[in-house]
Amino acid sequence: MSKPALGRGLSALLGGGAVSAKPAPAPAPSAAPGEHVRPVAIASVHPCAFQPRKDFAADALRELADSIQAQGILSPLIVRPRGDGFELIAGERRWRAAQLLGLKTVPIIVREADDRTVVELALIENLQRENLNPIEEALGYAQLIEQFQLTQETAAAKVGKSRAVVANALRLLKLAPELQGYLRHGQLSVGHAKVILGLTGAAEQKLAAERVLKEGLNVRQTEALVARLQQSSTQAPTKSANGSKPAPSRDVHTASLENKLQERFGTKVSLRYRKGKGAVEIRFFNDDDLDRILQIAGVKID
For the question of residue 92 being annotated catalytic, the response is yes
Round to whole Å and give the CA distance between 188 and 211.
11
Say if CB 37 and CB 108 are below 8 A apart: yes
Residue tagged active-site, from 35, 63, 87, 92 = 92
Q: Which residues pair with 38 in a beta bridge?
A: 108
* Positions marked active-site: 92
